[in-house]
Amino acid sequence: MLSRRDLLVIPLAFATLGIGAVRAGQSGTDAKSFIENLGAEAVEALTGPDLPQDERERRFSAMLNRYFDLPGIGKFVLGRYWRSASEAERQDFLRLFEDFIVKSYAARFAEYSGEQFRVLGVRNEGDYATVQSLVIRPGAEDVRVDWRLRDADGLKIIDIMVEGVSMVITQRADFASVIQSRGGVAGLLDMLRQKTSS
Amino acid sequence: MSLRRSFDIACVCLAAMLAAGCATKPVDPELQAAYEEANDPLEPMNRYFFEVNYALDELLLKPAAGWYYTALPNPVQDGIRNFLRNLRSPVILANDLFQGEMDRAGDTIGRFAINSTIGLLGLFDVAAELGMPFHDEDFGQTLAVASVGEGPYLVIPLLGPSNPRDLTGRIVDFLIDPLDYLVQDDAFSYGRGATEGIDTRARNLKTLDEIRASSIDYYATMRSLYRQRRNAEIRNGQSDSDAFPGVTFEEDFDFEAN
């Protein structure tokens, strides 16, 4: 069963490499190839233990901006506090939030050990699409990962759901708690500065 | 069966209620909305038990799980988990039936029959290969399906994140589990509980480290993860089309457009 999946996944993922920029969503196949491109590019550009960490982070950051609606995610994550934040705080936050994601996640690609993902299906709802996928890990259980995309001047990822858990909702809960305990958005910015400078 | 275990749980709950230092409700409307969203009026106490559990985990559970993970070959770990899951079959079946999930109840019966025999007392999950994959159910989920609300967030000493609904579910599952009545041996009950704990922890070694590293407030992150994960389990893996209704999504993403 596993070997059949591998056979299916590998050519699928790599066949889509080099197709280039995905045009604004015309149908579900675009969302599907968008995610497949992302997977192939991530494996190609980010993995490997020999890649220097700063180069890995630079590439990760470039992909993050190309595939994800970072300003949109940032606003969602700051939630109700976005409104009350000053313009300077908003800009600070978006910049620090990106750094925080890069610092938190880029290093994980160094430990890549052959995970592949297989797209199971696509669901379209107006400007939104959900690409359902299964991450197949050697020697561990498969993980269900759903990618939420929005089409506004081109497809961008707005959320990743891992086994039903939304990463943006989780991040929002984390930041909301920090804002409450540290007396406002400025407190969160301080924490983010600390986390990203180390 | 071990009445002591349920008695312990009851004592803990009572002590928790009595010792509860309640969080004060904020006056500011923004903060008040956040307070209600967190649904965690016992936060100071919960944070305290969260720290206690974290320390116990670092001292005992994590090292044991680390040993389990490195010392035992993968097939042995899978065998242990398959065996433990098979033992859970009666409780899962009862909850399948309580929730009126007849197809899933059929799966649970089929799995138990096949895995207990061909699967050598449950060590091998033959049924999964035959198109009957494992699914879990518990009485907390049954209550949720019956529209019982979760109540405020709770962190239970030793057991971790919960809420009154899920804690009740745990106690009911424990009471309806026929195995404890059949075996009548405390050592079996504790051994089973401990092995389940270690096996589960071993499968989450890396994940929990990563979550801790990538969060600022680990407690708040775990609280959100617990709720979301439980809701996904209650939906039985069906994606939640209401999780992001277009309206709130747009509102949250495009404040300036409003």
Residue B172 lies in a domain: yes
Lookup: tokens for B76:
């042995």
Could you say which of B221, B233, B252 has the minimum Cβ distance to residue A170? B221
The amino acid occupying position B188 is F
Nearest to B251 by CA among A41, A189, A83, A13: A83
Mean pLDDT of all residues belonging to chain B: 83
Of residues A163 and B238, more confidently modeled: A163
Q: What is the pLDDT of residue A28?
A: 56
Over residues B29-36, mean pLDDT? 74
Residue A4 binned pLDDT confidence (cut-offs 50, 70, 90): very low
Residue B153 lies in a domain: yes
CA distance B167 to B140: 7
CA distance A67 to B12: 48
Segment A19-43, tens digit of pLDDT: 333 344 445 568 888 888 888 888 8
Residue A198 binned pLDDT confidence (cut-offs 50, 70, 90): low
Q: What is the pLDDT of residue B13?
A: 52
Q: In this complex, is the C-beta atom of B25 within 8 Å of any C-beta atom belonging to chain A? A: no
Cβ contacts (< 8 Å) between B252 and chain A: which residues?
75-76, 79
Segment A132-168, tens digit of pLDDT: 999 888 877 888 999 999 988 889 999 999 988 999 9
Coil, strand or helix at B155: strand
The amino acid occupying position B204 is N
Q: In this complex, is the C-beta atom of B72 within 8 Å of any C-beta atom belonging to chain A? A: no
- Sequence-distant (6+) residues with CB within 8 A of B126 are B114, B115, B118, B119
CATH class name, domain A4-197: alpha beta
Q: What is the pLDDT of residue B32?
A: 76
Residue B26 lies in a domain: no
With 0-12 / 13-18 / 19 or more C-beta atoms within 10 angstroms meaning exposed / middle / buried, residue B17 is: exposed
Nearest to B47 by CA among B207, B204, B154: B154
- Residue A13: pLDDT above 90? no
Nearest to B234 by CA among B153, B141, B172, B99: B141
Over residues A104-113, mean pLDDT? 82
How crowded is the C-beta side of B2, counted as CA atoms within 13 Å? 15
CA distance B242 to B84: 34
**Structurally, how many domains does chain B consist of?**
1
With 0-12 / 13-18 / 19 or more C-beta atoms within 10 angstroms meaning exposed / middle / buried, residue B23 is: middle
Cβ contacts (< 8 Å) between A2 and chain B: which residues?
none
pTM of the complete model:
0.81
Segment B191-204, tens digit of pLDDT: 998 999 999 999 88
CA distance B134 to A90: 46
CA distance B212 to B62: 14
Q: What is the pLDDT of residue B239?
A: 59
Q: How far A34 CA lies from chain B's nearest CA (Å)?
A: 21
Segment A166-184, tens digit of pLDDT: 999 999 999 999 998 888 8
Could you say which of A79, A130, A169 has the minimum Cβ distance to residue B239? A130
CB B112 within 8 A of CB B93: yes
CB B202 within 8 A of CB B65: yes
Q: What are phi and psi of B224, to 5 degrees?
A: -65, -45
Residue B154 lies in a domain: yes
Q: What is the pLDDT of residue B87?
A: 93
Residue B166 lies in a domain: yes
Q: Which of A137, A177, A197 to mutate to test the interface with B (most CBs of B within 10 A)?
A: A177
Chains A & B: contacts with CB separation below 8 Å: 98
Of residues A28 and B135, more confidently modeled: B135
Over residues B61-74, mean pLDDT? 93
What are the extents of the domains in chain A? 4-197
Place of tokens 């089409």: A151
Residue B245 lies in a domain: no
Residue B104 lies in a domain: yes
Residue B258 lies in a domain: no
Q: What is the pLDDT of residue A192?
A: 93
Coil, strand or helix at A147: strand
Segment B79-111, tens digit of pLDDT: 999 999 999 999 999 999 999 999 999 999 999
Could you say which of A126, A166, A174 has the minimum Cβ distance to residue B217? A174
Q: What is the pLDDT of residue A2?
A: 39
CA distance A109 to A112: 5
Full residue range of the structural domain in which residue B46 is found: 3-19+41-234
Segment B114-128, tens digit of pLDDT: 999 988 898 998 888
Of residues A190 and B16, more confidently modeled: A190
The amino acid occupying position A135 is V
Over residues B53-57, mean pLDDT? 94
- Residue B53: pLDDT above 50? yes
CA distance A164 to A180: 26
Place of tokens 């050990």: A113
Of residues A20 and B55, more confidently modeled: B55
Q: Do A75 and B243 touch (CB under 8 A)?
A: no
CA distance B150 to B84: 27
Q: What are phi and psi of B240, to 5 degrees?
A: -95, 105
Q: How far B250 CA lies from chain A's nearest CA (Å)?
A: 10
Coil, strand or helix at A121: strand
Over residues B126-132, mean pLDDT? 88
Q: Do A170 and B235 touch (CB under 8 A)?
A: no
Q: What is the pLDDT of residue B22?
A: 62
Q: Do A174 and B252 touch (CB under 8 A)?
A: no
Out of A119-123, A168-172, B13-17, B230-234, pick the least confident.
B13-17
- Residue A188: pLDDT above 70? yes
Could you tell me the CA-to-CA distances from B166 to A75, A170, B123, B159 in Å, in that order? 33, 20, 28, 11
Q: Do A180 and B240 touch (CB under 8 A)?
A: no
Q: How far B133 CA lies from chain A's nearest CA (Å)?
A: 12
Q: What angle do CA B52, B55, B57 make, to 5 degrees?
A: 110
Q: What is the pLDDT of residue A54?
A: 87
Cβ neighbour number for residue A80 with a 10 Å cutoff:
17
Q: What ipTM does the predicted assembly reach?
A: 0.80
